[in-house]
Amino acid sequence: MVESDFSVAFSEILEQPDLLAGLRDTRDTWTRPFVNLCREHDFKRVLLVGNGSPYYAGRTLRYATEGLLGANVDPVMAGEFAFHGSFDCTGELSPEEVLLVCPAETGHSRGQVDAARRARHAGVSVVCTTLNPHGVLARECDVVLVKPGASERSIAATKNQTMALYMLLSCLVEAGHCLGRLGDGEYTRALHALDSVPDNVRETILISRDWYLGNRERLLAAPGFFLIGYGSNYGTCLEGALKFLECHERPTQAVQLEETLHGPLRSLHRGDVVLLLSADAGPERDRMALLARQLPRYCDNVILVNSLIQAMTPGSSVDGSLTIASSDEKDVCAIEYLVPLQVIATMLAEDRGIDLTIPKLPELDPIMIPAYED
């Protein structure tokens, strides 16, 4: 009999700060091929293709990619793209003006590999993140961003998602500055935020663990969860909801801030838990604060997730806030705000006795064949 190991998922979360620090310290080397590719092409359309976490990475990166490359950007589910998508439905773009990005984990996913092969056949450039620089996906790519570390034993990927986000955001910042779309001051601020991510993630893991332990009973008692965010952090909520479903298996909804006013909260119950990601500053954060003050009328467990920077402003937090370490820099902060969701999901799984190293539906893989071998 194989003994269950409930600590694997959390131990992989703990690997993230050092992995990210290694990427930070070598950033100039691994971003260069992406920057050179953007210099050589005037990309007007970018497709971010993936399923599951890679798709949610695309949702998170969409607006950063638009702003920094000056291109029309679409995050697309790989399965949808395989049967319905095109690189340019208008016929007005040359292949050299289109870029396919696959934020992969291991680089075996059938949908991403098929998309990359289509791109190569059409003359479209392909960029991927992957653990395997010589794998089936990497062989189809013009630029391969190689993630350090080993594959995850937990079925709920954590470190691979944060690394993919960090690598692609770093590439976009460097390319945006090179192309003149990011001024020197903005570039310096973005680099400072990226440099701070490893230490912020390290601190946030510990903060989130301690917060979980102090709120364990109400989290375990919750019949359902709502994760609410805006901008790039709506992608964070989508990824967080996937982690919640994979880990503790309780019903979880990811809701964009303004969509809370259009139906989803009709399913909110008093015992549910609502996590509000109050991230980068602006009118959306102000509206999130309004929502945080009103929701306790309907739910007993409303948690504002904000930053230590915000907490310095009187009145910015509510009772029970989860206050993390974050720069609150637009787009970059999505990495930091993902971490508490990872921690809560994995610790709930452990407390519920769910072993995240054991697949629940293994019989589907040989039938549906979702991945290629190298």
CB 161 within 8 A of CB 239: yes
| 107, burial (CB in 10 Å: exposed 0-12, middle 13-18, buried 19+) | buried
pTM: 0.96
Low-confidence ranges of the chain (pLDDT < 70): 1-6, 316-318
| 113, burial (CB in 10 Å: exposed 0-12, middle 13-18, buried 19+) | buried
**Nearest by Cα to 78 from 122, 48, 44, 117:** 48
Looking at residue 207, its pLDDT comes to 98
**Nearest by Cα to 124 from 108, 140, 104:** 140
Residue by residue, DSSP assigns 121-161 as HHT-EEEEEES-TTSTTGGG-SEEEEPPSPPPSSSS--HHH
Looking at residue 62, its pLDDT comes to 98
CB 96 within 8 A of CB 71: no
Looking at residue 10, its pLDDT comes to 95
With helix as H, strand as E and coil as C, how does 188-219 read?
A: HHHHHHHHHHHHHHHHHHHHHHHHHHHHHHHH
- Which amino acid does the sequence have at 302? V
Residue with tokens 């009328």: 297
In Å, what is the CA distance from 179 to each residue of 9, 122, 175, 210, 258? 39, 25, 6, 43, 33
Sequence spans of domains, the chain: 8-195, 201-351
Residue by residue, DSSP assigns 85-130 as --S-TTS-S-GGGEEEEEE-SSS-BHHHHHHHHHHHHHT-EEEEEE
Question: For the structural domain made of 201-351, what CATH number should be given?
Answer: 3.40.50.10490
What three-state secondary structure class fits 10? helix
How confident is the model over 19-69, as pLDDT tens digits?
999 999 999 999 999 999 999 999 999 999 999 999 999 999 999 999 999
How far is it, in rounded angstroms, from Cα 343 to Cα 170? Answer: 24
CATH class of segment(s) 8-195: alpha beta
Looking at residue 17, its pLDDT comes to 98
**Nearest by Cα to 343 from 101, 94, 13, 7:** 13
Within this chain, domains 8-195 and 201-351 share the same CATH topology = yes
Looking at residue 316, its pLDDT comes to 64
Looking at residue 219, its pLDDT comes to 98
